[in-house]
Amino acid sequence: MTTVIVGAGRIGSSVIELAADANIGVTVIEQEHERAHEFKADENCHVIHDDATERETLHEAEVGNADAIIATTDQDTTNLMVLMLARELGCETLVSVVHAEENIPLFRQLGATIIENPQRLIAEYLFRGTHDPGIQGFMHVGDRDGGAEVFEISVADGAPIIGKTLEQADVAGFLPPSMVVVAVERDGEIIIPRGNTQIETDDLVTVFSKEGIINEVVEPFKPEAKRTGDSDTE
């Protein structure tokens, strides 16, 4: 498998490292001299120091024979142009970051897989880590505004769902109709949940919530004292 990566900035360099770890052949196109020179020293990368919006550059990168192209620059216009040329040259798998929401339809018309506004995504992860440390990861599904989310949440000691099977938790009202428990990770093992699956302390539970990360969904996994509306006083 070979991948062409456009841009060797913060996002691009991380993608390059992941590709190297997966033993995927990588061609990197980087216009900035210092970045290009840095990755030329890496024997796992073929580096082209040139403008990726030029057909000749993409020809040199053999993008038409690549399994995928990933555009990671901080300019949507550059990323879009690169993907359009790559598609014209025969590359079928197009992936790109998209920084401005209004540009998303243009990328989708190309059939590209997109990561929307990575800066906002990082900010959301930081906010989630502060607002609710039990949530370790999340992904939007569909419309960002009011859309569904898939997320992981750690079951805290003292949470009311501990010791209950999913069937019992459902009967007790801990599992709203708009949510589904997708997986349970326990001691490094992934458990495909069934009605008789019992939830234990420190389980990492993957949840699909049609209404997103709301209190009704996350409170059963928190200690009783930290649930919304609870009080330390009688």
Q: Where are the domains of the chain?
A: 2-116, 121-226
pLDDT of residue 234 exceeding 50, the answer is no
Q: Residue 60, SS3?
A: helix
CB 53 within 8 A of CB 82: yes
> Between 1.20.1250.20, 3.40.30.10, 3.40.50.720, 1.10.3190.10, what CATH number should domain 2-116 receive?
3.40.50.720
pLDDT in tens, 55-100: 999 999 999 999 999 999 999 999 999 999 999 999 999 999 998 8
Residue 130 or 2, more confident: 2
pLDDT band for 232, please (50, 70, 90 cuts).
very low
User: What element of type H or E holds 84?
Assistant: helix 76-88
CATH superfamily for domain 121-226: Regulator of K+ conductance, C-terminal domain (3.30.70.1450)
Sign of CA dihedral 150, 80, 75, 9: positive
> What is the distance between the alpha carbons of residues 15 and 21, in angstroms, rounded to a whole number?
10
CB 213 within 8 A of CB 221: no
